[in-house]
Amino acid sequence: MSRSSRARKAEALAKTLLGMAALLALSAALGFIGYIFYRGAGYVDWAFLTQAPRKFMTEGGIYPVIVGTVYLTVWTALFALPVGIMAGIYLSEYAPRTVTTRIMRLAIANMAGVPSIVYGLFGVALFVIQMGFNRSIVAGALTLACMTLPVIITSTEEALRQIPTDLRHASLALGATKLRTIRKVILPVAGPGIITGSILGLSRAAGETAPILFTAVAFFAPIASGPLDETMALPYHLYIMATQSTKPAPNMVWGTAFVLVAGISMLNVVVAIWRSAQRRKIRW
């Protein structure tokens, strides 16, 4: 009797403590989002989004900065998506169960854990200097693409794995080749999953600072006329304004932070809604 009541007390205590920890993590997440909203939302209006900065970034808007981040992200997608999706297809559809494949997976998992600044160093050595792209959108996007690859590969592979094998067999039994099966049967079904995962990865890339610090960005640059120009970018802009500007203008700093976070979250929410709509279409 006393033992079981003690156990019940321990149960209640444990549950409370664990729940408090969970609540702490949750409130940190919600608190940060709320704080950014609270500090930044009021400063963002149409002019802020569509005007260039004036008077050493203390007035005006952040239009060229937003455009710079969009450029960087689009170029990153151009570099990372084809390779990443094909690598995912390889792992899910072609890779034999061998030691080599195991090492491939290990390499992918490991790439996801390489610090972002190391990607920055790699980008400087290979893309900026060796390939001669200098500080440019291309060099920055290639660096970001390397960083995003593991996310895209993993989400592609996962999306492909969720497709029942019967579907593959049915297509092959009809005489379709393996590639045709992939192109006409598997990719259309797995598409939403692949795209969702990839956009999640790309939205992370859009918020990264360290990899582009020395490969792509300048604190002040005109809107790039081509991929070989340097560019402004939201995360870097924010970093400089928060730490190094002599006369920080809180509306610019928090407005920029809000735009960055809101942009990334909007992208994620839109994709999540689209995904669940797509999911309802396909059933087995």
Partner 1 sequence: MSEPRNTTRPSIGRPGISRAAEGLAKTIIIISGWTAIALLGAIAAYLFIESRSAISEVGLWSMISGELWYPTSKTAQYGFLPSETGTLWVAIVALMLCVPVGVASAVYISEFADKRIKDVYKSVIEFMAGIPSVVLGLIGLSLLAPWVRTTFGLDTGLTAFAAGLMVGVMCLPTIISIAEDALHAVPSELRMGSLALGNTRWQTTYRVTIPAASSGIFAAIMLGMGRAIGETMVVLMLAGNSGIIPNTPFLPARTLPGTIAGELGEVVRGGQHYSVLFAMGLVLFMVTFVINLAADSVLERQRRRWRR
Window 16 to 55, contacts with partner 1 (CB under 8 A): 17-19, 21-22, 24-26, 28-30, 32-33, 35-36, 39
CA atoms within 13 A on the CB side of 67: 19
Give yes or no for residue 11 binding partner 1 (CB under 8 A): yes
Residues of this chain, 54-113, that bind partner 1 according to CB under 8 A:
82-84, 86-87, 89-91, 94-95, 103-104, 106-113
| Residues facing 217 on adjacent strands | 231
Minimum CB distance to partner 1, residue 169 (Å): 18
**Least separation, in Å, of the C-beta of 274 and partner 1?**
15
Minimum CB–partner distance for residue 174 and partner 1 (Å): 11
Contacting partner 1 within 255-274 (CB under 8 A): 257, 260-261, 264-265, 268
For partner 1, the closer of residues 3 and 225 by Cβ is: 3
Nearer to partner 1 by Cβ, of 23 and 49: the residue is 23
Among residues 61, 208, 224, 252, the one that binds partner 1 under rule CB under 8 A: 208
Q: Smallest distance, Å, CB 34 to partner 1?
A: 11
Per CB under 8 A, does 118 bind partner 1?
yes
Interface with partner 1 (CB under 8 A), residue from 207, 245, 274, 275: 207
Per-residue x/- mask for partner 1, residues 152 to 191, rule CB under 8 A? -x---------------------x-xxxx-----------
Work out the angle between the directed axes of helices 187-207 and 250-281 (0-180°, nearest 10).
170
The correct pick among 163, 186, 202, 213 for binding partner 1 (CB under 8 A) is 213
Burial 144-155 (b: 16+ CB within 10 A, else e): bbbbbbbbbbbb
Q: How many residues bind partner 1 (CB under 8 A)?
A: 88
Single out the segment in contact with partner 1 by CB under 8 A; choices: 54-62, 161-169, 220-228, 253-261.
Answer: 253-261
